[in-house]
Chain A
Amino acid sequence: MISNRRLVLAHFWLAFAVFGLAILLGEWQMFIRSPLHGWLHNPDLYYRSVTAHGTVMGYVFPTLVAMGFGYAICELSLDQPLIGRRWAWVGYAMIIVGSVAAVVPVALGLDSVLYTFYPPMIGNAFYYIGVVLVVVGSWVWVVLMGVNLNAWKRAHPGAPVPLPMFANVAAAYLWGWTAVGAALELLFQILPVALGFSNTINAGLSRVLFSWTLHAIVYFWLMPAYIAFYTIVPRAIGGRLYSDTMARVSFALFLVFSMPIGIHHLFADPQVGSGFKFIHSVFTAMVTIPTLLTVFTICASVEIAARLRGGKGVFGWLKALPWDNPQMLALAFSFVMLGFGGAGGLINMSYQLDSTVHNTQWITGHFHLIFGGAVVIMYFAIAYDLWPHLTGRAMQDLSLIRTQLWLWFVGMIVTTFPWHYVGILGMPRRMAYFDYSAPGLSGEGITVIMSTVGGALLVVSALLFLLILYRNHSASRAETTPFTFSRAIHEPTSLPLALNGLGLWVGLMIALTITNYGYPIAQLIGLHDAQVPAVFIGGKR
């Protein structure tokens, strides 16, 4: 039972509203760069759009989804009212204020620095202050999740922490620690310049600090999807979770391995030694372990559901799955996209192979397929599953939901596969226009048109999604059964200390941050030659 429905709904609705706006920007960016449109005579419009699209989709949207879902999980799995409800609203207000403070100067063209900040480019300080506010607002949630878990543990000494809450708090701690990198960059490198206290910036150090955040943030985006894989999908399709322990180990390993790997974003940066790049490359490869553990566990859980429904044979059970169930459909689409995106990711994380695709459209394709595809489609699934419990009304548009999920899947494939292809051919990302009149590029125009068409499908799907959620608010009232999470085949009665709390894994995360980031950061702090003049964006024309 969720006692704070308004809190959860407020987070979800704000998340999906800004998502609906930002996706329009994304489609516009594809359109104006395609041969369907002439060259943009003011490229800054494109960079404004990219900055807003990235800021909303990277910081605001997933953070709000994780927070809203987290508050719901906290009450549903611990069966206790949320402690710190007022603080939760304070955090929510900070995110609204921060988002407005960030997006207004971007729209005015004062901050076309992209959501990765790209020092030594420096824009208007309000953008950075807005982003800091969003992060601080989300830290309120991080603290509340820890407080609520600890209160429950004190009230239930020795009892196993419910898996959803274990995973939820893992996500919160991961975010709490990984956001420190970008926060340090903003507070000690970028803001002093943006506020006029300094004219030079240590761009290399800033980029290393951002990489601290940049990869683990992806796993923070991923966490709600993984929580849904383990705790919603098996129940929704009538099965059981194959292994509770495997789930906990996966979340613990995500906590450990998603942090000390960010330098794989800096393979082409000269300020980091090749030895550290190699270490980060190897640790990135370790992330495949919890990923494959999850794929295995969820496939096994799905097979249980199929066999319970009378499925037979080595592969024959696949036919017995409830394919008309939106959760089943979303899971299957998510795994297909995760598979392709993950395979592409193996190229990006490999120190040598990366050089063939570095900063090309391949990268854009990769993170859209993983985040926009595999993860966001599970955000949809979470909303569909939770909505009747938030509104108290029945979800009636099942066929519309299936259409929406299909459109999202097809749209994402059509958008991102051409990006991967032209990325291998060397098409750079973040260009305001491509010169299709050049002989070598004329053949690539068609791929950009394909991505534009895929983007249009995604826009239609997003609008459908918003429509379905909106219509549910006026559907007929229904007596909903109490919300439950998936049950494991062997439900834990007692757990080893390591799997009933996150202390060990948080400790390892911090220790690996020190070993893998300590020297590069310390070295760059001491390297005063590394200060470069800031390049001010959006100043006088």
Chain B
Amino acid sequence: MNGDRPRLISLRNPWFTASVGAISILFVFTVFVGFVWLPSAQNDALFKGLLNAICSAAGVPKAWLSEASPPIQPKTPVSSVVLTPDMLGGASSGGSIGRGATLALRCTMCHGARGVSAANTPNLAGQYAPSIYKELRDFQSGARTSAIMAPMVVGLSDQDLSDLSAYYASLPRSNAPPAQQVHSEPNIVATGSPMRNIAPCGSCHGDLATKLGAPWLGPQPREYLKSQLEAFANGSRHNDISAQMRNIARNMTADEINASASYYAGSR
């Protein structure tokens, strides 16, 4: 066409050929080293062969361990409940509160007529629905053991559990104490102990933040909180996912268990 006018993208433009050529060579070289040479140097049977080397370097998902032995089954039943953020989220998406209230009649002897009781059982009024649901499912499956709770939930359907959870979540929390009684939180609640891998209680159980599945702890009976922390510490309670609470409670001192239980029992 117009042979006189110089063109940028043209093999006769040395700037074009040199820059594109040099970068292409660099790219091809790095691809060879990164996708063929380095992975081939891995001394692992699973990475042998050109295709395996390239796939592993590209990050293609593959069942690398499919030929290995299956995972070891735990000796005790563990929780299999999956919680997602939209589960039991609001009154609309969760269960029926009215139906839950009828079902809850069987719970009142221990947990109180309106989800609050002085019997050292957990206060359920205002508890997060996913937390109640998870515990009920764990009582059913045996992941959490209780001679009292197991027979109570044995015949309940999944919908029953959702309805119960929605009902208790809808109840008002027991009255918070007056402001002057709210003492400042102990270190274990506010800051945890980073060097012992203890996250602050408040970062999951309320105060600083909440996490899905972690129950609201204020106000709960002191004896109940203390006994549960000790049960996590000695492993007799084991329905916490990935042993989160067992690992925390095991590292807590007796003083810290007392301090956190007292704080959550009395501060609000």
Contact = CB atoms under 8 A, between A and B. Distances in A.
Interface of A: 39-44, 199-200, 256, 271-279, 282-283, 286, 431, 433-435, 438, 440-441, 496-499, 501, 503-505, 507-508, 512, 515, 519-520, 523, 527, 529, 533-537, 539-541
22 contacts: A41-B185, A42-B190, A42-B208, A44-B209, A273-B58, A274-B57, A275-B31, A275-B38, A275-B54, A275-B58, A279-B27, A282-B26, A431-B194, A433-B191, A498-B8, A507-B9, A515-B27, A529-B61, A533-B84, A535-B211, A539-B210, A540-B210
A122 to B, nearest CB: 10
Given A274-B34, A274-B39, A497 B60 contact: no
B39 A275 contact: yes
Contacts of B212: 533
B187 A39 contact: yes
Interface string B30-61: 11011100110000000000000010111111
Given A278-B33, A508-B23, A539-B210, A533 B58 contact: no
Contact of B57 (A40, A273, A529, A541): A273
A41 B13 CA distance: 65
A272 B59 contact: yes
Interface residues of B, number: 46
Given A283-B30, A499-B15, A540-B210, A435 B195 contact: yes
B259 to A, nearest CB: 14
A274 B19 contact: no
A431 to B, nearest CB: 7
Given A433-B191, A515-B27, 20 more contacts: A41-B184, A41-B190, A43-B200, A43-B203, A43-B208, A44-B208, A199-B86, A274-B59, A275-B38, A275-B54, A278-B30, A282-B30, A497-B6, A498-B8, A512-B27, A533-B85, A533-B212, A536-B85, A539-B210, A540-B210
Contacts of A275: 31, 34-35, 38-39, 54, 57-59
Contacts of B8: 497-498, 501, 503-504
Interface in B167-187: 184-185, 187
B20 interface: yes
Nearest to A536: B85
B11 to A, nearest CB: 13
Question: Which 3 A-B pairs have CB atoms at the shortest separation, nearest pair first?
Answer: A273-B59, A275-B57, A278-B34
Interface centre among B7, B15, B56 (most CB of A within 10 A): B15
Contacts of A515: 27
Given A44-B208, A279-B30, A540-B210, A274 B194 contact: no
B193 interface: yes
A276 B59 contact: yes
B58 A276 contact: yes
B190 A435 contact: no
A541 B206 contact: yes
A208 B85 CA distance: 24
Nearest to A501: B8
B81 to A, nearest CB: 14
A541 B208 contact: yes
Interface string B105-139: 00000000000000000000000000000000000
A201 to B, nearest CB: 10
A109 to B, nearest CB: 10
A199 B194 contact: no
Contacts of B39: 274-275
A461 B58 CA distance: 48
Contact of B210 (A199, A273, A503, A541): A541
Given A278-B38, A282-B26, A498-B16, A199 B84 contact: yes
Nearest to B193: A435
A193 to B, nearest CB: 9
B191 A39 contact: yes
Interface in B10-25: 13, 15-16, 19-20, 23
